């Protein structure tokens, strides 16, 4: 039986994936590539940013999990972030606060990726996340730490990392919905999206 905390993380991934499917439903490549400004992101670029970020974050967590498994660090507590981890997760949640930070160069999206490819890459990153979660649910995720690949000198627990990913996804899916709405208004296309938070 899947522990409730692990199922909760799975549910968050499922919800983000469904939101992304709703986001791209009925959206053509032209609207998917639309930007409000030259320095802003399109819907496709938001999805590409998430896919790239997920892969890099997962790679860092995977290395820590492999080392912990060799050390026999089995599950003792639920996969929940500590105090600082909870604050960081809440900071990422939408709506985006007034204070914004620029994405690190390593996870900036490709320039004008195809919407279909960006979406496929996002879905593939979710397959990888689920594999990681299912393979490592037996480890002590709340105590095993990994080096954050985007914030120098910061180490998070794997539990925090696993909560950061869906929060970061909700942040940029929220952004992408706003971009989609603006694109439809500016290009003059009204589509039948099934969901728009």
pLDDT at 193: 45
pTM of the prediction?
0.89
CA gap 19, 42 in Å, rounded: 16
pLDDT higher than 80, residue 192: no
pLDDT at 100: 58
Q: Could you tell me the residue range of the domain that residue 148 belongs to?
A: 4-23+35-187
Q: How many domains does the chain have?
A: 1
CA gap 16, 18 in Å, rounded: 5
Could you read off the pLDDT of 127-136 as tens digits, one per residue? 999 999 999 9
Q: Quick one: which of 148, 156, 144 has its CA closest to 72?
A: 144
Tally Cβ neighbours within 10 Å of residue 145: 15
Could you read off the pLDDT of 153-171 as tens digits, one per residue? 889 999 999 999 999 999 9
Mean pLDDT of 104-117: 86
**Residue 114 belongs to domain with CATH number:** 1.20.120
- Of the two residues 173 and 103, the one the predictor is more confident about is 173
């Amino acid at each position: 039986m899947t522990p409730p905390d692990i199922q909760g993380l799975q549910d968050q991934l499922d919800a983000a994936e469904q939101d992304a499917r709703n986001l791209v439903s009925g959206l053509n490549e032209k609207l998917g590539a639309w930007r409000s400004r030259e320095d802003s992101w399109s819907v496709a670029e938001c999805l590409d940013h998430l896919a790239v970020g997920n892969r890099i974050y997962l790679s860092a967590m995977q290395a820590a999990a492999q080392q912990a498994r060799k050390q026999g660090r089995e599950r003792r507590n639920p996969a929940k972030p500590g105090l600082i981890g909870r604050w960081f997760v809440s900071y990422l949640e939408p709506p985006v606060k007034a204070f914004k930070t620029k994405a690190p160069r390593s996870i900036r999206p490709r320039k004008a990726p195809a919407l279909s490819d960006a979406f496929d890459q996002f879905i593939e990153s979710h397959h990888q996340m689920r594999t990681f979660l299912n393979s490592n649910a037996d480890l002590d995720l709340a105590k095993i730490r990994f080096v954050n690949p985007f914030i120098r000198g910061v180490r998070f627990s794997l539990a925090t990392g696993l909560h950061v990913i869906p929060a970061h996804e909700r942040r940029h899916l929220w952004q992408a919905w706003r971009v989609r709405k603006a694109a439809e208004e500016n290009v003059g296309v009204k589509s039948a999206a099934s969901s728009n938070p």
